[in-house]
Structure 1
Amino acid sequence: MRVLNCVVDDHNLLLVALAALVCVTGSGITMQLYRKMRGCRGLMRATWLVTGAGAGGATIWCTHFIAMLAWTPSMATSYEPFMTAGSLVVALAGCALALGVGSSRGLAAKLIGGALFGLTVTGMHYLGMAGLENKAFVLFDPVYVVASVVLAVGFGVLAFWLAAAGQLPAHKVTSSAALVLAIVSLHFTGMAAITVLPMDGFGQSHGVNSNLLAFGVAGVGLLLLGSALATYALQEQFQRRERRRLKALIDGTADGMVVEIAGRIVMVNEAFLDLCKLESADLTGAPIARWIEDANVMTGQTVVQTQLLTDDQELIPVEVAVRNEQSESGAAVRLFAVRDLRRRQEQERRIAFLARNDSLTGMPNRASFLEKMTRMTHLMGGGGGFALLAIDLDRFKDINDLYGHAVGDQLLVHIAENLRAAGREGEFIARLGGDEFVALVALNPLAGRREQAAVAAARLREAIIQPMDGEHTNIGCGASIGVALWPEDGADTSILINNADLAMYRAKASVSDKVCFYEKAMDEAVRHRRRVTEGLRKALEQDRFQIFYQPQVCVIDGEIKGYEALLRWPQDDGSFISPDEFIPVAEDTGLILPIGEWVLRRACEEAMQWDKPYRLAVNLSPVQLGHTDLPKLVHQILLDTGLPPARLELEITETAMISDMALSTHILRQLKALGISIAMDDFGTGYSSLSTLRAFPFDKIKLDRAFMSELEGSPQSRAIIRAVLTIGESLNIPVLAEVVETLDQLAFLREQGCDEVQGFLLGRPTRQALPLATQEAALAVA
């Protein structure tokens, strides 16, 4: 009651309210600066310490002296300037010491800091009261003095403890209120301890009067509180700008980003909110371990794959990277980068599926087929084995050409669905690519193996040939199936696959049998073909081919006009493989291109060594004629060897032109532009010989050898030869007859006006360009 009476009776309540306002404002600012200082280190901590000391000291000092101005004793009062200024120094220094100690780590430091703050308020108050000058004795009641000190220290300790307890708004309000109570309780309890005894006879006071003190208090208070408030506002603005920049930075990433300080989320980006399907307010302040499994034990050393649990109890696979930092206050700061793995895992599953399955039909692919086949060979060592079915679609290329590849793909999907539906237990069906399929059929050892395989092949073929409904018609194709049985047709998987392919090719070539079983005698021709192919490669690499030359003679005067280059392939035993045997293989395998280039180059080189500039005739394969770079190759060979273009004659067959008349004619015109002669070989056997002669101006016609072999016993052959010679004469194109072997044949050709002849009668092919073979032949020609 004494304190209350002091406040009500001895003070101007308006100024008391002003002092309270200053105290509340300054205490709030001081506590905020104290919190800032606790979260910083180094220079920033020192900056906040100075600012906080100024704000706290100004709050204590201004509150005290505004309240002193509100005190209305019954005599005039003034204030001794040095003591008054000293009280301000005590307030500032004490606040600095209290804030510095209270911002250290540990609970004891905070309690000591609060006690120091209470003692600072006490020291400033009683030092300021000591500077009071008036005509009276001022007596202090020790009980109230002790009570004021206890209250100041107690509320100071409480204020610092509440400020350090947390960052919630309630902590901020209660800590500021406790600081206000520390200042106010000290002042008014201390004022209640005063007893004033007026005295006469004192001299005139020389202290600072109340008006000057009012201006001083106002100036110091505004300066210090304004500086602290401005510093705090600038720092808050800077921190808000930094937080916005950080928020913009983490929001700009596709991964979820979470900032956790002291085990509580303080910031999240939109990607993480979308992942959790929550709002920012739902996460702020909560531990991230509530959503991310094992988040508390993540060290940040590696990227961890874990799970995220949404509030809907949905488990989302995520990849988490953690970066551990430490704030200036020493609090643990962790930055979580969270990546949603659902899309990547889906892509990985898709990649894994495509690695083992066909992308168009979804059926197992070649890799799955080989793995399955290998596994079956290991598992069926003592069982009934299995049958391998090699399936190739008939006329599928025609469907692509006629309807387009999109329709062809639809047909493949249709066939794949039919095959899946027709499959039985123990059967594995795969698509190898294009129009090739395979099937593995497990066989029962207690029943006929070939019969089981034949039934399965017939069933699958029936599924394949079911037509697909097109826009205007039903579209379908046939199937040829080759069957090989394991293990009798091949214990090795590669051999078994090869044998099934051989059976399939046989079925494809057959008109009636569309399902063929492998037979050992079936692949002898294929093996021979492979041996020929390998031999051709080695002969080309080892330069084992040879060129023989056969003369071409003028019928009129018997003069040799040129030589035809003929390719020969000698063997180790001195024999030769016939060109009719190896040339088709070379054409099918593409080896005819390097072989043809070798023949042309070698023949030109050797022709340059002849005594006379005879004409050199070289045959061109249809495969060579189909390449657009042929004129460039021929030109380069002529340049390299030095052979004049006029001495070179290239022979082509009519069949080579018919396959692509426009392209062939274009290439032949380019060759002829080089100065090379072009001869038509095997004339008379094609389907459109006359139109071919009209399409291109040939320099020579070579009569097909079939007519010469039938000349003596076939009037029709004689008539055809006469017709060809007449055509040549009419078109002014020389005609050369091949395979002239008797004098009667030579006499007939001479009688009919043939221009040139070539054959064994005149000379067999030899390694060197030689004169006519016999004197008799020479005389006959002459």
Structure 2
Amino acid sequence: MIEVITCLRDGHDATLVAAAALICALGALVSTRMFNKVPGGEVAGRKAWHVLQAGLTGGATIWTTHFVAMIGFDPGVPVAYHPLLTMLSLVLAIAGVAGGLWMIARSRGTLLAEAGGAVIGLAVLGAHYIGMAGLRLSADLVWHPGMVIASVVLALGFGALTANRIARPRTRFCWYGGVVAFSLAIASGHFTAMGALTVAPHTVEVPLDGLVPDRTLAMLVLLVMGLFLLFGFSSFLIGEDARRDAAERLRRQSLHDPLTDLPNRTMLRNRLSQLLDSAGCGEVIVAVGIDLDRFKPINDVHGHAGGDALLLALSDRMTGLLGPQEMVCRNGGDEFIALKADAKGPEDAIAFARRLHDALTRPVDWQGFRLSVGASLGVALAPQHGGEVETLLGRVDLAMYRAKASSEQVVIYDPAMDEVSRARSLMAVELRAALELGQLEVHFQAQSDIPTRDLVGFEALARWRHPERGMIPPSDFIPIAEATGLIRELGVWVLNAACREAVSWAEPLRVAVNVAPQQLAQPDFAETVLDALLVTGLEPSRLELEVTEASLISDKRRAEEVMASVKAAGVRIAMDDYGTGYASLSTLQTFPFDKIKIDQSFIKPLGRDRQAAAIVRSTLILGEALGIPVLAEGVETETQLAFLDRARCREAQGYLFGKPCGAAETAERVREQWARKRAEFARGMSDAAAPGAAAAAAAAGR
């Protein structure tokens, strides 16, 4: 250390040493900033370019620091430099730094990073000692081995520390540690090595012809330093601009929907929060929830391309009609939320919602198709309906769902909706408890042969006997079960209960069980059905699963796999609510159904609606052509039954054959029919035997 201090004090120009230190610090700052780009997960070509950039800047920093300090070195005799070795030291510095950085880039968290830093330290040492080898003066250079070793240790150590701070940052400020470490690697390597040097002048001065004098070297160093620092700064600034651009793109992507480029729910909440915080006295903020009707069938029939094209067209329409204080955000799927900040009251809010509704319900032409959807809009006002973001959006949802459930296109929030929402939430909790406490019952509705009116099977239906409110209609609790996911547990319970009851019937009639779309989507649904058959002992051929078209077209591949599994076991599959979906013919072609159930909406008008009659007849003809039996739902009158009989429909279900009844009454109906059939069979056998007995008696009399 004393030798280094003495060398700096007595053998160097303080101004040039300070200049070298400034160059070292400035170059280390730029170089380390560029080093930081290297270890990231980039493609190979871009990583190689960053390594080259950082290698050029870092190597030039080492070289210029060394030679500016050398220009300030005064050995007491004239000095010149060998041009080839001088330039070789620059090449070695650049190559060494680039090689070390390439090792850091490929380290993947291993000690290869620190090894790469040591290579950078070797570049510092190589540039120094080759540069010193190119020093020409009338003197002998004597090296102190201990100080040389110290210079090597310091350069390698600080080089490894530089790599450690680059490759293993604990905070975003670690790169400053890399700047300091790289500066120390250069400075300690150079000045410790200079402290190891003793100059012994010759008695006779050696001519320095053909070499590079100090002044020329100074000009060369300044030129190289200027060029490489300019290159480094420009690369740094370009990189910063690119980084800012990338950050802005990421920020925009995080706040906008990738398909429509509309603001997303995050930006919606931010904007709504700003509006609510800055709203003045008397200012009304309008939030409109938008849910597209009939969008899913379009997506199912035309694929995601058709659905995406429709969403883009509708988004453009809404954006085109917005005023300066209005915005539309995509809330996800087929839901949007619109905001209006300068409303005067409910009238303005309704007018804004109507404007959006009119834009959404106009057809969209796409690849020769006319895509058309409806829209249900819910409106809430701030501060009237809530001054907090979540409160206001929750009330928008309530109004939107009310619009969707009713025939109204636009519904403004009413406080009574909160009571309805709370009641639904309470019912969901109680329904879960009912499943656990055994408050549910399974009732059965008869399915009969039309010509004979004999029972051929029953459809199992869930019923809830509430301990306080009595029998709750399925129209109240089934939608809640579907919305909360309880429909899966409810469906499994009905399946097991129906199979268990059917096993006890006197006559082996069929039992039909409805399958919700959520059940069919479960990976283990087929195993659930087979387990129910195994546990209860019901013959698979007696079980009939009723599925709707909607549950099939939502995931055709999954539905095909499930149906193939249960049919292989002997279970029958019926298409329920035929005629109310969107792809009946293609569904019949794709799936192997054992029965078609015509929806009751086509049966009720029979006798007064020619179109309904035509649809029923065509369905029966189609079923006969495909070899699939057809059952008519919702038969309530003899007129309807007579029409079906004439049209050669074989089975029917409805109030004409009895309302759904409990398990005990159902079992009694089956027992009575079985007893009647046995009695009829016995009478038939007796009648058949009577002529033979009479003939035998007559023969005996003769």
Task: Give RMSD over aligned pairs.
Answer: 6.3
- Residue 477 of structure 2 is aligned to residue 582 of structure 1: yes
Secondary structure, aligned partner of 2:192: coil
Secondary structure, aligned partner of 2:640: helix
1:489 to 376, 385, 391: 385
Deviations 1:199-229 (A, max 9, x none): xxxxxxxxxxxxxxxxxxxxxxxxxxxxxxx
Give the CA deviation at 1:690: 4.0
Contact 1:507/1:516 (8 A) holds in 2: yes
Deviations 1:414-472 (A, max 9, x none): 6656655644444344332344332322346xxx5123323444555677689999898
Deviations 1:616-638 (A, max 9, x none): 62422363795596544322322
**Which residue does the alignment assign to 1:692?**
623
Summarize the Cα distance change of 1:703–1:651 in structure 2 as closer, same or farther, 3 Å threshold.
farther
Summarize the Cα distance change of 1:531–1:254 in structure 2 as closer, same or farther, 3 Å threshold.
same
**Which residue does the alignment assign to 1:72?**
none
1:652 to 510, 522, 546: 546
User: Sequence identity, in percent?
Assistant: 26
Contact 1:365/1:432 (8 A) holds in 2: yes
Summarize the Cα distance change of 1:618–1:328 in structure 2 as closer, same or farther, 3 Å threshold.
same
Give the CA deviation at 1:386: 1.7
In structure 2, give the amino acid aligned to 1:723.
Answer: R
**Larger displacement relative to structure 2 (481-490 or 549-558):** 549-558
Deviations 1:710-760 (A, max 9, x none): 23xxxx335236437x654xxxxxx576656xxxxxxxxxxxxxxxxx647
Contact 1:772/1:778 (8 A) holds in 2: no
Distance 1:319 1:387 in 2: 53
Contact 1:391/1:437 (8 A) holds in 2: yes
Summarize the Cα distance change of 1:543–1:367 in structure 2 as closer, same or farther, 3 Å threshold.
farther
- Residue 252 of structure 2 is aligned to residue 390 of structure 1: no
Give the CA deviation at 1:543: 4.7
- Residue 129 of structure 2 is aligned to residue 246 of structure 1: no
Give the CA deviation at 1:540: 3.3
2:440 to 545, 553, 564: 545
In structure 1, give the amino acid aligned to 2:474.
Answer: P
Summarize the Cα distance change of 1:174–1:436 in structure 2 as closer, same or farther, 3 Å threshold.
same
- Residue 490 of structure 2 is aligned to residue 595 of structure 1: yes
Contact 2:300/2:554 (8 A) holds in 1: no
1:674 to 560, 569, 586: 569
- Residue 265 of structure 2 is aligned to residue 366 of structure 1: yes
- Residue 380 of structure 2 is aligned to residue 518 of structure 1: no
Summarize the Cα distance change of 1:481–1:548 in structure 2 as closer, same or farther, 3 Å threshold.
closer
In structure 2, give the amino acid aligned to 1:450.
Answer: P
Secondary structure, aligned partner of 2:283: coil
Aligned length: 492
**Which residue does the alignment assign to 1:167?**
70
Distance 1:479 1:626 in 2: 28
**Which residue does the alignment assign to 1:706?**
635
- Residue 643 of structure 2 is aligned to residue 720 of structure 1: yes
Give the CA deviation at 1:571: 0.7
In structure 1, give the amino acid aligned to 2:336.
Answer: F
- Residue 252 of structure 2 is aligned to residue 353 of structure 1: yes
Summarize the Cα distance change of 1:427–1:540 in structure 2 as closer, same or farther, 3 Å threshold.
same
- Residue 362 of structure 2 is aligned to residue 451 of structure 1: no
Given the two structures, how large is their TM-score scaled by the length of structure 1? 0.47
Given the two structures, how large is their TM-score scaled by the length of structure 2? 0.52
Distance 2:178 2:318 in 1: 42
In structure 1, give the amino acid aligned to 2:635.
Answer: A
Deviations 1:97-147 (A, max 9, x none): xxxx99994589989xxxxxxxxxxxxxxxxxxxxxxxxxxxxxxxxxxxx
Contact 2:448/2:456 (8 A) holds in 1: yes
Contact 2:505/2:671 (8 A) holds in 1: no
Q: Which of 1 and 2 has higher RCO (CA within 8 Å, sep 6+)?
A: 2
Give the CA deviation at 1:777: 12
Distance 1:240 1:568 in 2: 89
Give the CA deviation at 1:478: 7.2
Contact 1:468/1:475 (8 A) holds in 2: yes
**Which structure has the larger Rg?**
1
Contact 1:654/1:681 (8 A) holds in 2: no
2:531 to 633, 636, 645: 636
Distance 1:174 1:561 in 2: 121
Q: Which runs of 5+ in 1 are unaligned?
A: 1-40, 42-100, 112-163, 178-231, 268-297, 309-316, 729-734, 741-757
2:181 to 322, 327, 338: 322
Q: How does 1:521-540 map to 2 (within 5 A)?
A: 530-540=425-435
Q: Which runs of 5+ in 2 are unaligned?
A: 13-66, 106-115, 129-161, 196-228, 575-594, 603-615, 681-702
Distance 2:555 2:305 in 1: 30
Summarize the Cα distance change of 1:530–1:319 in structure 2 as closer, same or farther, 3 Å threshold.
farther
Secondary structure, aligned partner of 1:432: strand
Contact 1:565/1:616 (8 A) holds in 2: no
Distance 1:469 1:318 in 2: 61
In structure 2, give the amino acid aligned to 1:592.
Answer: I
Distance 1:474 1:695 in 2: 31
Summarize the Cα distance change of 1:107–1:497 in structure 2 as closer, same or farther, 3 Å threshold.
closer
Summarize the Cα distance change of 1:641–1:722 in structure 2 as closer, same or farther, 3 Å threshold.
closer
